[in-house]
């Protein structure tokens, strides 16, 4: 197993738990009908953005898609602004005009999230092109799912990033489902995302699961490689969406995923994995864990109350942001 320093491991654990706690709180409060927008929760997929972002600076940018909460939080996006956005409030990260599917925090380097599958892939490449023209060696991380690799823009964007040697990290989170449509209905069993990408001239790596330790180590090296060599890279990681595609509930009763499949992935849950790993190596004890959890929980309760008390945007906001001045 990968060897990492205690501090770094605890940091990773806190980052994983932070996302988990936020997502569970959203799922729990959703029934109050105060967050009146579609939500695509990241529970089960937290380790990928945590591993990526632990190797980025705030000047590196990310662009993402509909399931973006974990990406946003891992990159340091303000949780307060995010929850206010979900509540549709004026002090939300997009002034309540975007909702869960349009999270943004420019200071933290969360450039955009949009729900049209594949749509941010070329936009992220454009951002990386701008950096290259500006002789800036920061990178752009583009998160997308297995479904997005079926879109034309995926191929077009890989081609351009490869052609112009752009500093892009393409991260494909393959959770095997596009809503309810399994990969086998959508892609030939011989089709390989990394082979496609390699054929376009991009160094590509595939992970069969989302182990936080392996991923952190890998991204540490790959991000250095991208920055140093000005080359794009693609990483595909098999992962698991715990809850339903859209909404706060578990939908295992629908039977579109086998019991064995769910069981296998539940055993690979990375919050539990890292917690056990830290305990086993005497880096953390039950008391520490409880303290970390309660601290996160307390902060979050305050944020939810704050969001609830905050004001809705007024009618003027409708006309105010159609055109820039």
Binding site for other proteins (CB under 8 A): 92-98, 102, 104, 106, 111-112, 114, 116, 119-131, 133-134, 152-153, 156-157, 159-160, 163, 317, 320-325
Phi and psi dihedrals of 238, rounded to 5?
-75, 135
Give the shortest CB-29-to-other proteins separation in angstroms: 23
Q: Closer to other proteins at the Cβ: 25 or 166? A: 166
Q: CA triplet 94, 32, 242: central angle to 5 degrees?
A: 75
Q: Measured from the CB atom, is 122 or 147 closer to other proteins?
A: 122
Q: Do 114 and 102 meet the contact criterion of CB atoms below 8 Å apart?
A: yes
In the complex with other proteins, the residue whose CB is nearer, 140 or 237, is: 140
Instruction: List alpha helices for the chain, DSSP H.
Output: 6-29, 47-53, 69-74, 79-86, 120-133, 152-163, 183-186, 193-199, 212-229, 259-267, 270-280, 286-309, 316-320
CB of 264 to other proteins, least distance (A): 36
Label residue 181 left, alpha or beta by phi (over 0 means left) and psi (-120 to 50 means alpha). Answer: beta
Q: Which residues contact 318 (CB under 8 A, 6 or more apart)?
A: none
CB of 273 to other proteins, least distance (A): 36
Report the residue number, 127 or 210, with the smaller CB distance to other proteins. Answer: 127
Q: Smallest distance, Å, CB 325 to other proteins?
A: 7
DSSP 3-state assignment of 170? Answer: strand
Q: Smallest distance, Å, CB 200 to other proteins? A: 11
Cα gap 27→54, rounded to integer Å: 26
- Shortest spacing between CB 163 and other proteins, in angstroms: 7
Give the nearest distance from C-beta 91 to other proteins in angstroms: 10
Distance of CA 162 to the CA centre of its chain: 23
286: left (phi over 0), alpha (psi -120 to 50) or beta: alpha
Of the pair 9, 113, the CB lying nearest other proteins is at 113
Nearest-approach distance from CB 85 to other proteins, in angstroms: 9
Q: Which is nearer to other proteins, 189 or 314 (CB)?
A: 314
- Among the listed residues 65, 63, 62, 82, the one whose alpha carbon sits nearest the alpha carbon of residue 19: 82
Nearer to other proteins, 79 or 112 (CB): 112
CB 246 within 8 A of CB 30: no
Give dist(CA 325, CA 13) in Å, integer.
44
For other proteins, which is the closer residue by CB, 13 or 154?
Answer: 154
Least Å distance, CB 289 to other proteins, is: 37
Name the residue nearer to other proteins (CB basis): 48 or 110. Answer: 110
Q: Please state, as a whole number, how many other Cβ atoms lie within 10 Å of the Cβ of residue 144.
A: 26
């Amino acid at each position: 197993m990968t060897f990492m320093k205690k501090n770094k491991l605890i940091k990773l654990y806190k980052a994983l738990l932070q996302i988990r706690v936020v997502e569970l709180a959203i799922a729990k409060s959703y029934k109050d009908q105060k967050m009146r927008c579609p939500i695509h929760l990241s529970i089960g997929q937290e380790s990928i953005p945590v591993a990526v972002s632990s190797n980025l600076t705030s000047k590196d940018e990310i662009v993402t898609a509909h399931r973006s909460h974990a990406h946003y939080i891992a990159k340091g996006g303000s949780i307060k602004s995010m929850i206010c956005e979900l509540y549709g409030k004026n002090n939300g990260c997009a002034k309540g005009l975007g909702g869960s599917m349009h999270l943004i925090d420019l200071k933290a380097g969360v450039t955009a999230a949009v729900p049209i599958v594949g749509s941010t892939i070329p936009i992220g490449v454009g951002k990386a092109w701008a950096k290259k023209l500006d002789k800036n060696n920061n990178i752009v991380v583009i998160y997308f799912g297995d479904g997005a690799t079926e879109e034309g823009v995926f191929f077009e964007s890989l081609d351009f990033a490869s052609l112009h040697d752009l500093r892009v990290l393409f991260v494909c989170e393959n959770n095997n489902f596009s809503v309810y449509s399994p990969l086998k209905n959508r892609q030939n069993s011989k089709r390989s995302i990394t082979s496609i990408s390699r054929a376009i001239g991009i160094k590509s790596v595939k992970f069969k699961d989302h182990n936080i330790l392996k991923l952190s180590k890998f991204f540490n090296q790959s991000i250095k490689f991208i920055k140093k060599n000005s080359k794009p890279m693609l990483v595909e990681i098999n992962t698991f969406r715990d809850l339903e595609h859209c909404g706060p509930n578990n939908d295992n009763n629908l039977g579109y995923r086998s019991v064995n499949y769910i069981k296998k992935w539940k055993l690979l849950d990375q919050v539990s994995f890292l917690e056990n790993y830290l305990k086993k190596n005497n880096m953390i004890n039950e008391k520490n864990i409880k303290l970390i959890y309660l601290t996160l929980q307390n902060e979050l309760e305050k944020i939810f109350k704050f969001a609830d008390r905050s004001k809705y945007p007024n009618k003027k906001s409708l006309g105010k942001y159609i055109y820039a001045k």
